[in-house]
Amino acid sequence: MSNNLRVLLVENHAILRQGLKRLLEDEGIAVVGEAEDGRTGIDLANKLNPDLIVMDISLPKLEGIEATRQITKNHPGIKIVMLTIHSEERYVYKALAAGAKGYLLKETASEALIEAIKKVMRGKIFLSPSLPADLLDNYHKMIKSGKNIDEFSRLTNREIEILQLIAEGNTSKEIAENLYISVKTVENHRANIKNRIDIHDTAGLVRYAIRIGLIESDI
């Protein structure tokens, strides 16, 4: 692994982010930027063009899988390792479909992060050892069979962003200010979201956002 490797950390927990930074720097890896939400992560990826991003899934403003999708679309050369507490297969499948090359559980991050980065930088896919051994094979079989593994497929990228902000409790005015668009545009997107997924109340939208992993349940 090159000593000139440049890494961006996108993790909303400051203590964990600091620990990851120390771990990487002890290995001679340069941490060129840090972000605590998905939107800032995208901005820094555009600005810094790092070699690799360590990306949490559960992020405010824009969750990690959608941020990964947007980054890999615009910067296919950037490798992304997801860092998460979620061991459910559906999260792994969605992360891989979004373009992630690594999926690392936080419980093993201190032991396996460097190994994950080395493998991903060699062009391989890394999955946490505690995940089912046949998970990657099953993913490839699903892709070949044409099965839909992406629950976001009914929504556009912008609608996913707005759905997350709605589920986080933002008003249309706050969403408009956050995304630099008009309130009317937000309301149009909100109506489109409701029609696409056939959910017409805010509580239902929140439950849907939790189900597909945009936000975490407080329960």
The reply to whether 137 and 177 lie within a common domain is no
The reply to whether 31 and 65 lie within a common domain is yes
Question: Which amino acid does the sequence have at 22?
Answer: R
- Give CA–CA dist 169/181, Å, rounded: 18
Average confidence (pLDDT) over 71-91? 92
Average confidence (pLDDT) over 77-97? 90
CB-based contact 213:65 (threshold 8 Å): yes
Q: What is the CATH number of the domain that holds 141?
A: 3.40.50.2300
- Which helix (H) or strand (E) covers residue 10, if one does? strand 6-10
Would you say residue 3 has pLDDT above 70?
A: no
Radius of gyration of the chain (CA): 17
Report pLDDT for 132.
82
Query: From the CB of residue 72, how many other CB atoms can be counted at a distance below 10 Å?
Result: 19
CB-based contact 114:107 (threshold 8 Å): no
pLDDT tens-digit series, residues 46-63: 999 999 999 999 899 899
Q: Per DSSP, which regions of 19-172 are E strands? A: 30-35, 52-56, 79-84, 102-105, 126-127
Q: What is the CATH number of the domain that holds 170?
A: 1.10.10.10
Place of tokens 């360590």: 54
Query: Among 71-75, 86-90, 146-150, which stretch is predicted with the lowest mean pLDDT?
Result: 146-150
Report pLDDT for 28.
92
The reply to whether 26 and 107 lie within a common domain is yes
Is 218 part of a structural domain of the chain? no
Residue ranges making up the domain that contains 198: 157-211
- Residue (of 100, 56, 96) closest to 215 by Cα position: 56
Would you say residue 207 has pLDDT above 80?
A: yes
CB-based contact 194:163 (threshold 8 Å): no
Report pLDDT for 90.
80
Which pLDDT band holds residue 216 (cuts at 50, 70, 90)? confident
- Residue (of 135, 130, 92, 128) closest to 113 by Cα position: 128
Which pLDDT band holds residue 196 (cuts at 50, 70, 90)? confident
Number of domains in the chain: 2
3-state class of 34 per DSSP?
A: strand
Would you say residue 219 has pLDDT above 80?
A: no
The reply to whether 125 and 29 lie within a common domain is yes
pLDDT tens-digit series, residues 90-139: 888 889 989 999 999 998 888 899 999 999 999 999 999 888 878 888 77
